[in-house]
Structure 1
Amino acid sequence: MNILWDFDGTLFDTYPVFAKILKQVIEKDDVSEEEIYTQTKISFKHAFKFFDLGDAQVNQFILLANQLPADEFKPFSGVEEVLMHANKNVIMTHSGRTEVLKTLQAYGWEGYFCDIVTGDDGYPRKPHAASYEYLHQKHRIDLVIGDRMIDIIPGKTLGIQTCLFQNKEPGADYYLSTYQDFFKIIFGLQVDR
């Protein structure tokens, strides 16, 4: 199976860390990290607008996020086993290449991925399908996994099966709350561990 992965919120649990940083930038006592988390899960652009952040605050957030040690971002439990069993893994993310590679290298995971498309590569942002189409033509993708609808819409557009992770919005072919259930839900079987 060839899998196209989203990065933030799908491979790595980055949103709680981003919510903490954004809380520092917002500097309002009446805004909780939980509310920030909810808004950033929609999109960063949405959260910046929702909290009425100016350019200086957005730049401060980006600077602080880029200064974090890579091991601040923890991989989701069980995801490495899925990566090991896939024939090919590719990533499509809006995050920058430097940050993505830094995190993958911190866990020794760069070898799991044969291709990575990032926000630095000039493709239109999700849910536009151009980056997915490029990866599908090159690697014949069987499954798209993401944590938000914008992660799976391009896969649906291209006729690829989709899976939402920790998200129950209607529209995906499969739903996972943990990666320990991947083989049972996607293939209907248990894999000896």
Structure 2
Amino acid sequence: MRYDSIIWDFDGTLFDTYPAMCRDLRRTMEGLGFSFTEAELLERFTVSRGAVLAYCAERTGMTAEEVDRVYRAWVTEHGQPTAYPFPGVPDFLARFQAAGGRNFVFTHRSGSVHDYLAGAGLTAYFTEVTSAGTAFARKPDPAGNLYLMETHGLDPRRTLAVGDRELDILAGKRAGADTCLFSAAPGETAADYVITDLSELYALVGLEE
């Protein structure tokens, strides 16, 4: 295979979580008397969490920190939204692992990432899952990627970082890995590869679909 290690992003890459996140943020804002559409929130979510929080703050007169706090409180009260892997994810993870590849996750999501993976029966396909937060700076800082590469002895030339946002790409490149942007509507990007469907990864990494 061309690559024997993949560092995955989670939200918007492995799991289709953005629609539910936008729905819940819209409901949070409605509870405060502010109206947003899920489409306008999604447009910012696909840039970064910070971008959507800043947009809501600008529209409401709140700070981004205040928006984040009330949103997190809403999720704590109502629970994490239901979300599922993108089509083809379980099969690819299993095939890549069976061929000798190792899967990793570096995500901005906290401990709930483990609940989602376990709920979908995918935990065993990952060598390590790590999150930004107190231990690592948020992307595009490469700290989390570098940690995984150094801890597990990953060869940057045979490591692919896959994500749906440019900050994922920049974090991967700054760690020395090749990068792949997964996006249905890709724009200008620094990624080495761009795919619009995860099935394209088979040929990219050197696996037969």
TM-score (norm: length of structure 1): 0.88
Give the corresponding residue for 1:181: 200
C-alpha distance in 2, partners of 1:121/1:83? 28
2:86 to 71, 76, 88: 76
Q: CA deviation at 1:165?
A: 0.6
1:18 to 13, 18, 21: 21
Q: CA deviation at 1:9?
A: 0.6
Give the corresponding residue for 1:90: 104
C-alpha distance in 2, partners of 1:69/1:36? 18
Q: CA RMSD in A?
A: 1.9
The residue identity in structure 2 corresponding to 1:48 is L
Q: CA deviation at 1:11?
A: 0.5
The answer on 1:61 being equivalent to 2:71 is yes
Range 170-179 or range 56-65, more displaced: 56-65
- Figure out how many residues of one structure are paired with residues of the other and give that number: 187
Give the corresponding residue for 2:114: 101
Q: CA deviation at 1:44?
A: 1.6
Equivalence map 1:1-193=2 (5 Å): 1-27=4-30, 28-29=34-35, 31-52=36-57, 53-54=62-63, 55-66=65-76, 67-68=78-79, 72-86=82-96, 87-97=101-111, 99-139=112-152, 140=154, 142-166=159-183, 168=186, 169-187=188-206, 190-191=208-209
Q: Secondary structure at the match of 2:104?
A: strand
Q: Secondary structure at the match of 2:105?
A: strand
The percent identity for this pair of structures is 30
Q: CA deviation at 1:80?
A: 1.4
TM-score (norm: length of structure 2): 0.81
The residue identity in structure 2 corresponding to 1:183 is Y
Identify unmatched segments of 5+ residues in structure 1: none
Is the CA contact 1:144–1:162 (under 8 Å) kept in the aligned structure 2?
yes
